[in-house]
Structure 1
Amino acid sequence: MGTRKVARSEVRSYVNDFETKEYLRQYYASVEGDPDEELFTPFHRKQIEFYKKHSSKWDCKTARLLEFSGEERGEIELWKFEKEGAHDWSGHFKFAVNKLENMTGDATTSLNWRDRETLLRQRITEIIGCDICQDYALSRKQDPFNVISTSHTLEVICGTLFEYKAAVKKLVSLLKPGGFLTMFADECQTFYTIGQKKWPCLYITLEQVKEALSDAGMMVVVAEHKEASMEQLQNPTTSDHKAMLFVAAQRVE
């Protein structure tokens, strides 16, 4: 199947039509019991292993979050400052600590899930506007990043493979020489839904992602994918992805 083009008008409607709270409710209400849990869990473990292996090369004491719309940045701020109406991420922190990090999560542990959530709130120093379709992607100038991690993003905001490769190059330009980029993405997906609205996606394969990274001056360190369940393949409802992929790459110095 060829690469599906996404109309630019559809992509830009993220500014006005994207329902952030419904998106969080639909896709991030919980982790346990998620139909794709078996699909994404190995990749999150792989990402943790990757970070542990390379973390001595950078300072992990601060994090800057990049989000497209003001509404999305507002949702993060609600959570960071523990304000009323914030999305409840406790299930994800429990999953990360108890399952991904092989910790019990009991109060007797040195870092339970509540500690982890508090620590992340403290380490987020900035929440920055980011539009990868612009000449300079960020809303204000930033020092280069040691690590950039993106999840299920580029394939839903880029309309063509050409735009996708350009977006990857822009992300890479934000990295320090020797810096790392990690990416989660849905492979061979043409749509996903939020409520009753269907959002288009760029149909892209693992090989095309690797090619885009290579063209941008990155050395691919990890590149893996895992097929969706037979139930998901036969009965696509919220999306029609065929697989999920995880890639980690280093900017050539």
Structure 2
Amino acid sequence: MRTFKAQLYEICDEVSSQFSGWSFVSGQFKNRTLKHTDLVIDPGFGFERGTTPVQPSVCIDNKRAQKLCKYVFGANASTSIVNLQTVSHLLQQTPEELRLGFWIVQDRKEFLSVGQPSQIAQGRILDITEARCALIAMMQDGIAFIDNHYELGSEDGLLKGLPAKYTTRHVNSPYDQMEKFKGVMVCIAHILYGDFDFVERYQSDDFNTLFPKRTDDLDRIIAKLPEFKKRFAETGIAI
């Protein structure tokens, strides 16, 4: 008998086939048609006893940015990440009651019989037999957000266009594209197209952020700037 996870992954495979260039790989929807960057829609699955939340985000994985990130920090990271809950007011295809995330369960009737969730919560709980339509809507909204907020025509245009510009759904959902490690990755993007001064400008007190900056990470980048500058002057690429 197939597990709940296997059943849902089979549905995800079928959903991905509805969108040209997309596939379902390792729990994420991916588009690898661009040579320089992978586009990702991560549903945010977290399986536990026949249930999983769906908390989707879009990720932009530029290959050179990931290479530079791994060189400096020893690990990869997405070049840009946007949680779709943050921009729920921009979503058009996902039903309104599901735009802040939802749950897929193996047996909704049995799941609801165990507890007594509110009517609002009940509206955000889908039986696995209902998952396909919700996941298709998630993909449509994710792809639309990527198309509308990232310059995909060229790698240089993509990097120079970061961070993605958008409004958030609520004052309590701050625009966070320059915060924490997301801000570090914007610095990585600037280095890739030769803007080496940006890192120190971002680290300075003149550049305001909501949360404390990751100064240790920024110091590690700054320590390697002479190397990146030299290579860029000689070859036109930082790494």
Instruction: State whether TM-score is above 0.5.
Output: no
TM-score (norm 1): 0.28
Larger radius of gyration: 2
Q: Comparing both structures, which one devotes a greater share of its residues to helix?
A: 2
Instruction: Answer 1 or 2: higher relative contact order, Cα 8 Å, separation at least 6.
Output: 1
